[in-house]
Chains A and B, each alone.
Chain A
Amino acid sequence: MKSDHQAQASSDGPIVELRGVNKHYGALHVLNDINLQVTKGEVVVILGPSGSGKSTLCRAINRLETIDDGTITIDGKVLPEEGKALAMLRADVGMVFQSFNLFAHKTIMENVTLGPIKVKGMKKSEADKVAMKLLERVGVANQAGKLPAQLSGGQQQRVAIARALAMRPKVMLFDEPTSALDPEMINEVLDTMVGLAKEGMTMLVVTHEMGFARKAADRVIFMADGQIVEQATPDEFFTNPKSARAKDFLGKLITNH
């Protein structure tokens, strides 16, 4: 699998690069001069309090949110504003949502094969084979014929990961993938993500799961008020945060857990 992911990159530059990205919601400066690079194989975890702009940042990378200025490039290509070019670039970026967003009228199998068949033009028999492998890997192969509503939240989220992987993305974005899950289902999703990280997948993860950040992140980014306040390795960030905001944030987490 590792070689699969790595064969995708066409350049040696960063897979994701944001330069001077700004976005406003009215008076709220939700992304304030964001500069960020994610290199191939890197796992970047974005932490921060609610409303700090971390989800918006994640969603801006495949343009589910527009930006006011700055540039975002995916593997050297500037993110187009709309149309076919944007759709093609999105096909290279896997996205996992907080609320799973599996296609409710399609079976688990169809959810995973839709992209490969309709976007990549893969034959159905081949797409089925690829999908089955991915479903086995995330541990829900025995549910392939069911509808999303018949699965638990944790299972649905693992299918969502398989659906994104089926497109053989250059980078995977996770927008709070465990925030809508019951506590006992969080680990099955995190384990899948840790497995991906170990295989060398490039990942950008917005999460509140500090355990995942410690275990799998190469780099932690701490955001507050639309700005990147601090970047460090997980060890450094959790043991020795530099900024007052990060200290405050981590302090609150510890008292709550």
Chain B
Amino acid sequence: MEGYLSLWDEYGARIMESFWANLQLTFWAFLISLVLGTLLAIMRISPIPSLRAFGTAYVNIFRNTPLTIIMAFGVLVLFGVFKLQISSDFNLNFFQIAIIGLSIYHAAFFCEAIRSGVNTVPLGQAEAARAIGLSFLPAAQLVILPQAFRGAIVPMGNVLIALIKNTTVALAGSVAEISGLMKTMIEYRADQGFLIFLTVALMFVIIVVPIGLLVTWLSKKLAVAR
């Protein structure tokens, strides 16, 4: 126990700091990938064949590429070869590249989650929207998507939970986040190896469990009565 407490003395501040990085990655990647995923979903249900094809291609490419490879690509190719410089701050630059990588990857999953929500909306809703003179975009915005989001809360929640845990892959993108620190701690404090794992795992559980409960509650509360 003393050893574990001394670990906190030594690394406590960095543990919090690193985990905060994971939460920040989650927040920004969630926002961006949700917007991007919504746009992709609109493309995939649109009447314009070229947009549909683009949406389908995007989803197939990024859903089927390992996140680690997207992250490594960001750092080794976009930064390493093409010198992508979003921020002049060295560390912040990696952080932002990681956000982009996470967003691009999870947008494909959000797109599919939203599309599964679209499938919960009866065809008659779109027909009624068209029949009163709404064209595709207003019909999507006013009638289809509001119902689709309500029907997609559970799958979207699953994507969010996956995203939270996938922020640890930012390690591959040279971001100082919790799994990187975990590696360091295990290296220097091998005596506490098991507890280090448990601590980090528990931090994620503490964040993810309430989100899971919230998702279940929201999905019931916002369900569209038919």
Q: Which residues of A approach B to under 8 Å, CB–CB?
A: 62, 64, 82-84, 86-88, 90-95, 97, 99-105, 114-115, 118-119, 147-150, 160, 163-164, 167
Q: Are A103 and B129 in contact (CB under 8 A)?
A: yes
- What is the bound-complex CA distance between A84 and B142, given in angstroms? 17
- What is the bound-complex CA distance between A200 and B92, given in angstroms? 70
Q: Are B150 and A64 in contact (CB under 8 A)?
A: no
Kindly provide the distance from the CB of B25 to the nearest chain A CB, expressed in whole angstroms: 33
Kindly provide the distance from the CB of A218 to the nearest chain B CB, expressed in whole angstroms: 24
Kindly provide the distance from the CB of B178 to the nearest chain A CB, expressed in whole angstroms: 39
Interface presence of B33 (CB below 8 A): no
- What is the bound-complex CA distance between A238 and B133, given in angstroms? 37
Q: Are B142 and A62 in contact (CB under 8 A)?
A: no
Which of chain A's residues has its CB closest to B147's CB? A105
Q: Which B83-132 residues sit within 8 Å CB-CB of chain A?
A: 122, 124-125, 127-132
Interface presence of B199 (CB below 8 A): no
If over half of B's interface residues share one DSSP class (helix, strand or loop), that class is named, otherwise mixed; here it is: helix
Of A87, A99, A150, A160, which contacts B133 at CB under 8 A? A87
Q: Are B135 and A97 in contact (CB under 8 A)?
A: no
List 22 interface pairs A-B (beta carbons < 8 Å), by A numbering: A62-B131, A64-B127, A64-B131, A84-B135, A87-B130, A87-B135, A90-B133, A91-B133, A100-B124, A103-B129, A103-B143, A104-B224, A104-B225, A104-B226, A115-B133, A118-B142, A147-B225, A150-B225, A160-B128, A163-B128, A164-B132, A167-B132
> What residues on B are CB-neighbors of A83 within 8 Å?
135
Q: Are B146 and A87 in contact (CB under 8 A)?
A: no
> What residues on A are CB-neighbors of B134 within 8 Å?
87, 114-115, 118-119
- What is the bound-complex CA distance between A103 and B131, given in angstroms? 12
Interface presence of B138 (CB below 8 A): yes
Of A87, A102, A150, which contacts B128 at CB under 8 A? A102
Which among A62, A87, A95, A97 has the greatest number of chain B C-beta atoms within 10 A? A87
Q: Are A103 and B133 in contact (CB under 8 A)?
A: no
Q: Are A101 and B133 in contact (CB under 8 A)?
A: no
- What is the bound-complex CA distance between A65 and B85, given in angstroms? 52
Q: Are A90 and B146 in contact (CB under 8 A)?
A: no
Q: Are B133 and A119 in contact (CB under 8 A)?
A: yes
Kindly provide the distance from the CB of A46 to the nearest chain B CB, expressed in whole angstroms: 18
The 4 closest A-B pairs by CB, nearest first: A91-B133, A149-B225, A115-B132, A101-B124
How big is chain B's contact interface, by range? 20 to 34
> What residues on B are CB-neighbors of A101 within 8 Å?
122, 124-125, 127-128
Which among B133, B134, B138, B146 has the greatest number of chain A C-beta atoms within 10 A? B133
Interface presence of B210 (CB below 8 A): no
Q: Are A90 and B131 in contact (CB under 8 A)?
A: yes
> What residues on B are CB-neighbors of A149 within 8 Å?
225-226
> What residues on A are CB-neighbors of B147 within 8 Å?
104-105
> What residues on A are CB-neighbors of B129 within 8 Å?
103
Interface presence of B47 (CB below 8 A): yes
Whether A91 contacts B128 in the complex (CB less than 8 A), given A105-B146, A147-B225, A149-B226, comes out as: no
Q: Which B136-190 residues sit within 8 Å CB-CB of chain A?
A: 138, 142-143, 146-147, 150
Kindly provide the distance from the CB of B43 to the nearest chain A CB, expressed in whole angstroms: 17
Kindly provide the distance from the CB of B183 to the nearest chain A CB, expressed in whole angstroms: 47
Whether A104 contacts B125 in the complex (CB less than 8 A), given A90-B133, A118-B142, A149-B226, comes out as: yes
Q: Are A119 and B146 in contact (CB under 8 A)?
A: no
Kindly provide the distance from the CB of A61 to the nearest chain B CB, expressed in whole angstroms: 11
Kindly provide the distance from the CB of A203 to the nearest chain B CB, expressed in whole angstroms: 15
Q: Are B224 and A95 in contact (CB under 8 A)?
A: no
Which of chain A's residues has its CB closest to B129's CB? A103
Kindly provide the distance from the CB of B221 to the nearest chain A CB, expressed in whole angstroms: 13
> What residues on B are CB-neighbors of A62 within 8 Å?
130-131
> What residues on B are CB-neighbors of A93 within 8 Å?
131
Could you list 10 further interchain pairs (A-B, Cβ under 8 angstroms) beyond the known A82-B47, A87-B130, A91-B132? A62-B131, A91-B133, A100-B124, A101-B124, A101-B125, A103-B125, A105-B147, A119-B132, A149-B225, A167-B132
Q: Are B142 and A114 in contact (CB under 8 A)?
A: yes
> What residues on B are CB-neighbors of A92 within 8 Å?
133
> What residues on B are CB-neighbors of A95 within 8 Å?
127-128, 131
Whether A167 contacts B150 in the complex (CB less than 8 A), given A97-B128, A103-B143, comes out as: no
Which of chain A's residues has its CB closest to B124's CB? A101
- What is the bound-complex CA distance between A101 and B132, given in angstroms? 12
